Structure 1
Amino acid sequence: MDALELQQVIVFSRHGIRTPLPNTINFLKTVTLKHWPSWDCPAGYLTTRGGILESYFGDYFIKWLASKHLKLSAEDVFVYANSLHRTVATAQYFTLGAFSGLDIPVKHKYPIERMDPIFNPIIHNDCADFKNGLIDNIRQFTGSSQLIEKLDEQLIPAYRLLANILDYKHSSLYQQYQCEFEQLPTMIDFVKNDEPILNGPLAIGTAVADAWTLQYYSAFAKQDIAWGMINSHEQWKIITDIKNQYINLLFKSPTLSRHIAKPLITFIASLFESQQHKFSLLVGHDSNIAAFLGALGFKNYQLPEQCETTPIGGKVVMCRYYDRHVDQHYFKVEYLYQSFEQIHLGVPLTANNPPNHITLTLSDKAPNSQGMYLWQEIKQRVTHYLSDEI
């Protein structure tokens, strides 16, 4: 590794701990008669705790880069976020932790609470053939003859655990449909200029699991986290898998990911190509991470000590190295993330309490012994993807 020089880093980060989203709150009111704990800031906003954890991450990250001998001045740094409170604030807190004392602007395109097209995981084509192709691709992805029935069957234990905690049988949703939670009708649609639309147990279960996970990450009192009814890490894994499957279905299935990720990958490719900045931080969403990794063909992965596959505050770190001995550039991708318990405990990240690191690899090509790919091979892959009409 002595011959390798780290020359350029682009980090794509999911935002930090937020409050439940507005549409999530609407779901929550229909699935149980139980009282949901209140939050101290508006729906969908980064919380103060989320900001503090991001500043910890920034402090750790800049020291990690220094250990790789990448020294940065203010002119070397570019920070860009989606134009939502939770993403801009995440970038601000990370920058505070990483570059305190330096004047590092956080750039965003629009006034707060307007989606930037780079980060917006929407459908760009509404013709019938394209929609039918997406449906066929989802059937293949889930192994289902109708739509996602096999996926729902796999999730029945999770749905039933969730329904029991909610006391779903006494909810207004049950009164409306008079069926078990897993039997709620499923509908999927693709509308131009909108995110993929999914209704049914997977979507509702994701909203509920998201709210409970955020309660845990925010260190709510035990009796306020799913009303004290989640009692083991295994139960957390079962419930969180609903969220993971939802993200995989809508944003990582092959055709959808390749369609949705194009604006983001175009932007990242331009940052690498210009080489104007040694370090770039982009802050978006779990849907962006899933689509990015799916579109470029990265292998499915497991994150040790995490229940989520795209956890809050997790960072896909893309590094460009130069090997002076062979005059060759290399590309490496790592996932840096806090464990389930690290987020819950909210303690600083240090050399003795680091975030987890795993190397991500392509599904159809093995890396070298250091987890790297030739830069030209990755560049060709991206060029081919961007030239494809999807």
Structure 2
Amino acid sequence: MACQAIFYLFMLGTCSFANSLELKQVLILSRHNVRTPFADNLQSLSPNVWPKWEDAPGELTKKGALLEGYHGQYFSQWLDQQQLIPEGCPEQNSVFVHTNTIQRTKDTAMAFLDAAFHNCSIPVDYENILEMDPIFYPDAHNTEAVKQQIISEISKKLNETDLKDVYLELNRIANLKDSQICKEQSYCDLVNDTGDIVYKVGEEPVISGPLYIAFSMVDAFLMGYYEGLPEEDIAWGEIKTDEQWNLLIKAVNARQDIRFNLPKSSKELAKPLVQYIKEMLSSNKTLTLLVGHDFNLHSVIAALGFKLFKLPGQLENSPIGAKLVFQRWSDGVNDFLRVEYVYQSLPQIRNAQQLSLLNPPKNITMHFNNLSDEDGFYRWSEFESILRDVTE
């Protein structure tokens, strides 16, 4: 049963150990789905006209809700196939959902639930505050004592990151030399500028300058691609090859890596969320869904000590709608952990392909740096030691 379920969900080829296991609990840490671009100053970065979006900057789109619903349908089928949560409404209080306080995370969770457990009246839990939820905000807990360490690590990674080719390509695509920001602020070339690190305790670290501008532009191109805009409306038709996408996406991945994948500070950044994950895995909840952001995935992966990985069929290191799926399995005596990174490929997102057991999302099995596994399974007690190391 366990082998069959894992095969359908993750298309694994090795099932000997899994045959003896039964799935007992699942926790999903998810990034929100497709949103509108963040930046509200895009028009100043190019003389060309940018696409118009129906929603405000940073909000979940209708396409994003649709795609998240496909995730919900898929996980519902898998949970039913594994007999963890049979088809229909789950037992009362067996499913718990918590999200960050902003629209794109709350609406992502609602789309998932509506598709997975339609008309089951499962609430979405979130803090009734105007600010970001401290659980999901990786810098809200930092003190002056760790501020300089974080700045030092960010500065080192920033200096080691070479994005000249990205900047040259964006200069050309956006025609930056004829832009408003060039005419009014003499900001005409991404290559010949340096970034500043602006970081206050309790706030998110900000890297100004060329990296921020490059991220803003590429993020807008990528969200347009995800949304399904015509190719001539994505970067004004200037992105014509996979090689160009692979080059430009470096700006998005580098920005997240530089800010949150920090060797010494990752545990501090992820501690509140890892503590929450630890508590939920110790609860009686059969399924927990936590919806946050790409930086939550980055910081948790770094803090828990997972090995480096690549995501076939994707450009982003933490794709839109991506999910880190923690699974507790049991052989009747001992519990085991398996962690999968589940995500939609570029074609699945752009073409809005419906997901099912026969057309699953992409996935990879996650592996820890310093633990031995059997077919991707780790002893639960070893995982608990990692959680304690991060949170205590």
In structure 1, the partner of 2:209 is: 200
Query: Is the counterpart of residue 241 in structure 1 residue 250 in structure 2?
Result: yes
| Aligned-partner residue type, residue 22 of structure 2 | E
CA distance in 1, matches of 2:139, 2:155: 20
CA distance in 2, matches of 1:137, 1:114: 27
1:1-390 superposed matches below 5 A = 1-21=18-38, 24-26=39-41, 28-72=42-86, 73-75=90-92, 76-110=94-128, 114-127=131-144, 130-138=146-154, 142=157, 148-151=158-161, 153=162, 155-175=163-183, 176-177=185-186, 180-274=189-283, 276-324=284-332, 327-368=333-374, 370-387=375-392
Shift of 1:178: 5.3
Equivalent pairs counted in the alignment come to 370
CA distance in 2, matches of 1:376, 1:225: 48
**Per the alignment, in what secondary structure is the counterpart of residue 83 of structure 2?**
coil
Superposed CA offset, 1:63-111 (max 9, x none): 1222333125142111111111100000000001111131211111125
- Do the aligned residues in 2 keep the contact of 1:252 with 1:294 (CA within 8 Å)? yes
- Do the aligned residues in 1 keep the contact of 2:71 with 2:355 (CA within 8 Å)? yes
In structure 2, the partner of 1:145 is: none
CA distance in 1, matches of 2:368, 2:384: 14
| Aligned-partner residue type, residue 337 of structure 2 | F
Superposed CA offset, 1:122-165 (max 9, x none): 253342x533322333355x3xxxxx2330x2x21122112211
Q: What RMSD over aligned residues (CA atoms) do the two structures have, in Å?
A: 1.6
Shift of 1:233: 1.9
- When normalised by structure 1's length, the TM-score is 0.91
| Aligned-partner residue type, residue 216 of structure 1 | Y
CA distance in 2, matches of 1:74, 1:86: 27
Shift of 1:117: 0.8
- Do the aligned residues in 2 keep the contact of 1:126 with 1:191 (CA within 8 Å)? no
CA distance in 2, matches of 1:190, 1:255: 17
CA distance in 1, matches of 2:268, 2:281: 21
**Per the alignment, in what secondary structure is the counterpart of residue 177 of structure 2?**
helix
CA distance in 1, matches of 2:56, 2:152: 39
Distance 1:2 1:49, change over 3 A: same
- Do the aligned residues in 1 keep the contact of 2:342 with 2:363 (CA within 8 Å)? yes
Shift of 1:231: 0.8
CA distance in 1, matches of 2:228, 2:279: 40
- When normalised by structure 2's length, the TM-score is 0.90
- Do the aligned residues in 2 keep the contact of 1:216 with 1:344 (CA within 8 Å)? yes
